[in-house]
Structure 1
């Protein structure tokens, strides 16, 4: 029993350095460089009212890519590009996934792209405004974003930055009008993303 307890304590002691947490929420203290989205720690959800509001039906997009170049001396000038594969929409039902992707005309417009044009904020909260290209239409969109912090990655390797955010678009403004009798026009977007310094 003592041997087992000693082994558990040793394992915990060895595991402690592997823990990684944000060490700063000050953008000015984040190292400069090129940052790329970590797709394993990125999620984009879209919620849309179903039949006048019985529920806010939730979809997830499974394939995201993104990057930005960061300069802490001029963090407000940061420009981020995010790309989402329209056909990667996941409702939990494969047949319905294809139906939703059909509304997006994913074969013709395979990529949804957001390119920021302005970043502002303070105390870890702010807005990111940019051009969203969806279904072949480009419109300005503003996202409310929280900077969750920056710090070392697992085992202290590299630098990682995390963000959470929300936004809202009207699908009709992007020409996505299928199933209007079953779902609303407002689409709420929610995302959780982490970027890693390269």
Structure 2
């Protein structure tokens, strides 16, 4: 009887917590001003590359991301977001191959220890838009455009703090950044998919 009551109470608490944590608005003007940092536990960056002409898209993940920005609702379109990925954190599910990808033949992470994106402008409405910026990868900086969905702003767990979330994609050619090794086995076109959440400090 006691166990059943405790289970019911826990379920009720989880239900209330979930309701409190739902995004409340997709309007960037309703995001509170302040400094935001990436919630690293709720951030992912996947890279898909065609294998041998397109039999499949080999998928990799960066396990270590970081990022932040200062936000002002009146000037949200010029918010400067900085995101970094640690190239040594590449995860293919094959540990030996991870070392090869991070090594001098591909990412050359000893020489280029960070992959960095710095935004220059944002555009959009109704939760959909683009974020333009400069991507520095393998020692080369190129402009890129991200297709982004603003998933919304709302309270954090137990109603504490402010949390915002985004989903997005972009498309790159690795040869534009000087990564051309093993081109007979891996395609030039990369699809990037990301899911990120930021919390207000």
TM-score (norm 1): 0.96
Residues 1:65 and 2:90 aligned together? no
In structure 2, the partner of 1:38 is 39
In structure 2, the partner of 1:6 is 5
In structure 1, the partner of 2:25 is 24
In structure 2, C-alpha distance between the alignment counterparts of 1:33 and 1:4, rounded to whole Å: 44
In structure 2, the partner of 1:132 is 135
In structure 2, C-alpha distance between the alignment counterparts of 1:16 and 1:165, rounded to whole Å: 28
* Equivalent of 1:163 in 163, 166, 171: 166
Task: Quote the offset at 1:3 in angstroms.
Answer: 4.5
* Equivalent of 1:123 in 122, 126, 134: 126
Where 2:169 maps in the other structure, the secondary structure is: strand
| Cα-Cα RMSD | 1.1
* Equivalent of 1:107 in 107, 110, 116: 110
Task: Quote the offset at 1:74 in angstroms.
Answer: 1.5
User: How many equivalent pairs are there?
Assistant: 197
Task: Quote the offset at 1:118 in angstroms.
Answer: 1.1
In structure 2, the partner of 1:91 is 92
Which structure 1 segments of 5+ residues have no match? none
In structure 2, C-alpha distance between the alignment counterparts of 1:180 and 1:45, rounded to whole Å: 20
Where 2:143 maps in the other structure, the secondary structure is: strand
In structure 2, C-alpha distance between the alignment counterparts of 1:81 and 1:47, rounded to whole Å: 22
In structure 1, C-alpha distance between the alignment counterparts of 2:40 and 2:3, rounded to whole Å: 38
In structure 2, C-alpha distance between the alignment counterparts of 1:135 and 1:29, rounded to whole Å: 37
Task: Quote the offset at 1:4 in angstroms.
Answer: 4.3
In structure 2, the partner of 1:15 is 14
Task: Quote the offset at 1:72 in angstroms.
Answer: 1.0
